[in-house]
Amino acid sequence: MAVVVIKDQCNGCEACLASCPYEAIEMVDGVAWINEKCTICLACIEACPVEAIIQEESKVELPDLDKNSYSGIWIFAEQRNGKVSSVAMELLGAGRKLAGKTGEKLTAVLLGHGMEEAARDLVHFGADEVLYVDDPALAQFNDGPYASVLGDLIEEHKPSIVLAGATFMGRSFIPMVASRVNTGLTADCTALDIDPETGDLLQTRPAFGGNIMATIICPRHRPQMATVRHKVMAAAPKDTGHKGEVHVIRGLDGIRMDDRTKVLEVVEEIIDTVNLAEADIIVSGGRGLGGPEGFKIIEELALALDGAVGASRSAVDSGWIPYSHQVGQTGKTVQPKLYIACGISGAVQHLAGMQASDVIVAINKDADAPIFDVATYGLVGDLFQIIPEIVRSVNASRGQ
Ligand SMILES: Cc1cc2nc3c(=O)[nH]c(=O)nc-3n(C[C@H](O)[C@H](O)[C@H](O)COP(=O)(O)OP(=O)(O)OC[C@H]3O[C@@H](n4cnc5c(N)ncnc54)[C@H](O)[C@@H]3O)c2cc1C
């Protein structure tokens, strides 16, 4: 669905400009033009005196879905350094409950190298079947090859449900898989169930900063894909008597590998002493710090406030601070009493990890930075001038 202007009909009266609450209409060559800020609120259609603005229905045709040709509940068993993560057992626990309702087979998909024993062990945690793809290129996580391999497996086997952990790994490559197999994805689910009437997967997750719980369905596409928050679902108990088949796929049997990136080295990170997820105050720095030395004033402010240090992905990717400090979609989700974002633009992926904070203070020299849209208090200016002032004043008020 889109809102469009019939150019020949527009008389350039500009009545629509004032009607738009989102500044989504511009005048181009004397004719109204709808830009990407449009939310399809339709206010401009009412305002146009010459009916030159119309709502255009989407021309995307949805295919007739043969739900019966999709069967099986899959869980993605993620591993790090050859060790299956505990989130896989939680997914097996959730998958088993769903399989009990639909009567489908529960399959664990494991991608790695030299992990036959771990693959067999997944059967003891309730998998009826394990698809284990063994290849040196899959030993360490790399979103391109992982998305290719899982996408190919889904296209070949057609499961009706695919679940993965809402971990940095799942958040990074599962959206690529969903896009590849042309289906929807519900991220960060905290509850899953089966609709007794339609058999559709009911995917429940917090929405609007946790103020409501939304139950999302995917009735017209298959598979139904969801990522599930870690430590929310009960892990499947180990039962060495449980029987299942393990299929080892080697040589990738024609599975296409997307290998534009290679993992050159895996650097073990020192476990952070500060637990960001539990901190009441977080001071985060982004690319606006200009370099690793910029984190010195972030640390000073965090110290003055007894807070922890967070970071945007750009700062982490630039090597200025370890990944354990990253806040956002592929980092940590935090909800402190006070979050101070310094030199962070406010990309959606960063907001996803911190916008539920009680009070957000943004310091940015660009008054139009999107971080100000979620900020409780905004300070427009140079962080290198503002932060030392705050540190001085906090220390003075504490008598230091
Ligand atoms: C799949 C995916 C997952 C992602 N996951 C995450 C994630 O978990 N977390 C995350 O943060 N990002 C994530 N990103 C990246 C995200 O899209 C942004 O690229 C990133 O958040 C930008 O980081 P930044 O705000 O530090 O940098 P920029 O966007 O470059 O912003 C820097 C800001 O600093 C300001 N600035 C510059 N100098 C100063 C100064 N002296 N004083 C004050 N302000 C100054 C600028 O005005 C600008 O607004 C992800 C992206 C993808 C595609």
Task: Read off the pLDDT band of 178 (50, 70, 90).
Answer: very high
Percent over 70 (pLDDT), the chain: 93
Mean pLDDT of 333-348: 93
What residues form DSSP beta bridges with 80? 83
CA distance 130 to 106: 9
Over the stretch 196-239, which tens digit does the pLDDT of each residue have?
999 999 999 987 655 678 999 999 899 999 999 877 788 999 99
Q: Which of 106, 111, 201 is nearest to 150 (CA)?
A: 111
Q: Which of 176, 325, 329 to mutate to test the pocket of ligand 1 (most atoms within 8 A of CB)?
A: 329
Q: Which two structure tokens, joined as six digits, stand for 55?
A: 């709502």
pLDDT score at 79: 96
Burial of 145 (0-12, 13-18, 19+ CB in 10 A): buried
Q: Which of 321, 350, 390 to mutate to test the pocket of ligand 1 (most atoms within 8 A of CB)?
A: 350
Q: To the nearest 5 percent, what fractions of the chain are helix, strand and coil? A: 30, 25, 45
CA distance 87 to 81: 15
- Report residues whose beta carbon is within 6 angstroms of any ligand 1 atom: 172, 286-288, 312-315, 326-331, 343-345, 347, 349-350, 353, 363-366, 369, 382-384
Q: Which of 265, 234, 11 is nearest to 140 (CA)?
A: 265
Burial of 28 (0-12, 13-18, 19+ CB in 10 A): exposed
pLDDT score at 260: 73
What atom of ligand 1 comes closest to residue 369's alpha carbon?
A: 49
**Domains of the chain in sequence order:** 2-56 (3.30.70.20), 67-254 (3.40.50.620), 276-397 (3.40.50.1220)
Between the CA of 285 and the centroid of ligand 1 the distance, in Å, is 9
Q: Which residue has the higher pLDDT, 184 or 206?
A: 184
Over the stretch 62-104, which tens digit does the pLDDT of each residue have?
667 788 899 999 999 999 999 999 899 999 999 999 999 999 9
Nearest CA, atom 7, ligand 1: 328
pLDDT score at 270: 54
Between the CA of 287 and the centroid of ligand 1 the distance, in Å, is 6
Residue 1 has pLDDT above 80, yes or no: no
Task: Read off the pLDDT band of 158 (50, 70, 90).
Answer: very high
Q: What are phi and psi of 54, to 5 degrees?
A: -130, 160
Residue 249 has pLDDT above 80, yes or no: yes
CB 154 within 8 A of CB 70: no
